[in-house]
Structure formats: structure tokens, C-alpha cells
A and B are shown apart, each in its own frame.
Chain A
Amino acid sequence: MRVRVPLVVSVCLATFLVSALAAAQFRSQPLPPSNRVARNEALRTSVNDLEAENRHLRDRVGSLQAAIRQLEDQSAQRSSAAQRLTDLVAGQKVTVGLVPLHGPGLTISLHDGRNPNDPADRSLGWIVHYQDLQDIVNLLWATGAEAITINQQRVVPTTSFFYAGVNILINNANRLSSPYLITALGDPPSLIAGLNDPNQLTELKSRSRNYDLGLSWRRGSRLTTPAYDATFVLKNAQPTS
């Protein structure tokens, strides 16, 4: 059963990495109200600018990938060696989540529950934490999921969850927020059996009962998982064939 200590530790990681930034926020107080408003606005403008840049960079990566695909196809038409390699690349792209898929599976809905407003209850159990998403994803893999998305973000080999304050981020700083929709392609009965197993997700199920935290699933005969909207770069790992 998951206990909350790791949650705090994980939040520590996020906090630790930018404690200097946060400390600057505290150090600067008290500020005259006018400065405070201006600073708040400046911070939010920065986020908007950076998110716009993030979208632009993703689009750029997408365009480059499309252009490369065309060039590879042209190369493949010229030589059988290139054709064979291009076919292998196409297969590997499926494996690592760079290709959209569809098929039967489950959609799991998860949303924050009711704040008990109880000063004695400091557990924040009514909120969906990224560890809850991580636990569900791990369980879905264990019960045979072939592809998983969270709020349309594909889970790929480099996917990790990260707390930036109240934001849950995955895949190059995509902000996730409640309600969370997890789509898993695979054999629906196997996936459902895993979720129904009383030994799995025990803490989350208990919080669902105690705080009205939403946790439900529905099978689908034709669900879709979009492709990962970026790519992979190895900076340190050198493959050996």
C-alpha cells in the first residue's frame, strides 16, 4: 500500500531543484502592493511565453519528423537496403510510441474529490497525485496494456511525472490537471481484472470512498492513443549492437 511519505519526498525533488527561485520569491517580500501585482503578472506572462515557445518547438519537431519520413521514403525507393531499414524504423516507431494506435481497451476517469475542510486531516487525500497516475499506469502495463495515454499524452520510455508546485507535468512540461483520462489499449477483461483486484490500488480506492475522489473505468471497442509529440535523443547512452 502506498503511503504518503514518498509523495512528500517526490515533491521535495521538485522543490529542491528550484529552491533558489522559490527562495527569491520569499526574500523579496514584503513588497509594495504595486510591485507584487507587477511581479505576479510578469511571472504569469513568462509562463505563457514559455508555453507558446514549447508549442512552437513541438510543432517544429513534428514538421521535421514528417519531412524526414518523406526523405526516408524517397531513399527507400532507390535502394532495397534503405527500404529494409525504413521498414525497421517504422516498426520501432510503433514500439516507442511515435505512431498513433487504436483498438479495444479501457478509459479510466480520475478526478479530485471533496475537500473535507478538516484541520485535523492534513493528508490531502482528496487530491489526485501524480503517484496515483503512476500506480495506475504500472498496473495497466502489468495487465497487458499495449499503449497508454494520460489526457492525450502518450506514455513513452522517457515519460516521467513531475510536480511543479500544484502542476503535474509529463512529456516535456505538458501540464496535466483533473479530471484525468487514462486510455489503455489491450484486452479489456484483463485490464478490468487488474483494476478490480482488491490487492491493487488499495490506498487510492480507499481515498475514493472517503473523499469522493472519482475513480471509474469504462471499456471501449475502439479507443485511440495519439503518438508522442516529440522524439528521443541519447546524450549519454551509447548503443552497442
Chain B
Amino acid sequence: MLLGFLVVVQLRSQALVARSLANQDNTSIALLINDLNHANGQLLQQSLALVERQRALQQGLLTGSTDTLAIEKELTILRAVAGLLPVHGPGLEIRIEGPVMDFEIQDALNNLRNAGAEAAALNGYRIVDGTPIISHGTALQVAGHPVSSPYVLRVVGDPEQLESAADISASSLQTRVQVTITRRSDLAITEVVQPRPLVYSQLGS
């Protein structure tokens, strides 16, 4: 009940106030504070990881050993983030039986990324930021490949956080299709994307 009321407040607020901070309602501000706290925590973690990498590189240079381990580790992370390497770890398997539209999968993926998803695959295709998911009638295409129900979305990340996000998506989908969410302690995403060379873009600003 409260949730529904809050949603209405959010939507109404959106219609009624400007987006400058001074004119925002307190609920929006409270939500913003929560997200800023979360984001700052993430940025702090990123800083700590970079400091660690910096130390490893400095150590290598000081000892004259040219330790390549730190560079190799960075390369591995970047390749995994780009979807070029298989990954495994805890996560969720979300099985959807029935027809869904492209935006429903995109919304689910967006919610899962918000909840810290680190890798995802749908019916045998790795999903990264540049992976288009397009409806063709009642069928779906992932990066140009047709996929059909049951849709199995596998996601690596903190299962607890992912599950909250998945539940939200499921609650809207479950009115039409069957959705099963299963936690996995070690889920493998073996699918990778092919690197896309730049044709039109050039380095530099």
C-alpha cells in the first residue's frame, strides 16, 4: 500500500516540480541521498583497486623486475567486462516461459545492472552494453540471432541484490508468463562476444 502510494507520489512529483535540487520533494531527495551513498561507496572501492594496481606496478619498477602481473590482471578485468572472456561466480538464473517484448528484457537487464550484475547471457548469447535486443513480432533477436521461449537469463553478481531486482521485473511479467528465479552459488557464463572493430570512430576527443 505504502509502496503504491510512494510510486504515485514519485510520478506526480515528477510532473509537478522542476528537477533542480531546490524544488525537489523530500522523497526524491531521500532517494537521491541513498543512491549517492551507494555510488560513492562504489567509487571508493574503485579507488582502492586502482591504488593496489599502482602499488604493484611501482613495486615492479623499483625492483627492476618489470612485474607484468598487474598489467595482466587489468587486461583480464577489461576483457571480462567487455564480454570477451568467460566468467563464473555466484548469481541468478531467471527462466521466463512465454512471449516477452524486447523492452521487458531490457528493463530486467537494467534493473539487474543497477543491482550490480557483472556479466549476463540470454539463451546462449552474452549480453554487453552494445548488444541489441529487438522484438520481431512475438520473437526476439539478440545481436541479430533469433531466440525463443523459454528465455533463460543468467547473471553473475551478488545473488541477494540481484534477486531483489529480479523480483521487481518478475512481478510485472508474472501476470502473463511464468517466471522462475533460481540462485546459483557458482554459475558459469561461457558465452563471449566477438570484438567489434571501430570503423567510423577515431581515438581522441
Measured CB to CB, the residues of A under 8 A from B are 2, 5-6, 8-19, 21-25, 39-40, 43-44, 46-48, 50-51, 53-54, 57-58, 60-61, 64-65, 67-68, 71-72, 74-75, 78-79, 81-82, 85-86, 88-89, 92-105, 115, 124, 126-127, 131, 134-135, 138-139, 141-142, 145-147, 155-167, 169, 172-173, 175, 177-178, 185-187, 224-226, 230-241
Contact = CB atoms under 8 A, between A and B. Distances in A.
Interface in B152-205: 156-158, 164-165, 168-169, 171-172, 188-189, 195-196, 198-205
Interface of B: 2-3, 6-7, 10-11, 13-15, 17, 19, 21-22, 24-40, 42-47, 49-51, 53-54, 57-58, 60-61, 64, 66-68, 71-72, 74-91, 101-104, 106-107, 110-111, 113-114, 116, 118-119, 128-134, 156-158, 164-165, 168-169, 171-172, 188-189, 195-196, 198-205
Contacts of A21: 30-31, 33-34
Nearest to B39: A173
A96 B80 CA distance: 10
Q: At the interface, is chain B mostly helix, strand, loop or mixed?
A: helix
B68 to A, nearest CB: 5
B46 A158 contact: no
29 contacts: A6-B103, A12-B7, A13-B168, A15-B3, A21-B30, A22-B6, A22-B31, A24-B30, A43-B29, A46-B33, A54-B40, A57-B46, A68-B54, A71-B58, A89-B74, A95-B82, A138-B102, A141-B131, A145-B130, A147-B201, A163-B10, A165-B24, A169-B35, A172-B42, A226-B205, A231-B46, A234-B118, A237-B88, A239-B86
Contact of B57 (A68, A145, A177): A68
Nearest to A40: B26
B195 A95 contact: yes
A166 B19 CA distance: 7
Contact of A19 (B6, B25, B72, B114): B6
A146 B197 CA distance: 9
A235 B71 CA distance: 18
Given A9-B169, A79-B68, A163-B10, 17 more contacts: A21-B31, A39-B26, A43-B33, A53-B40, A57-B44, A68-B54, A92-B79, A92-B84, A101-B203, A134-B106, A138-B102, A165-B31, A166-B10, A166-B19, A234-B81, A236-B91, A236-B156
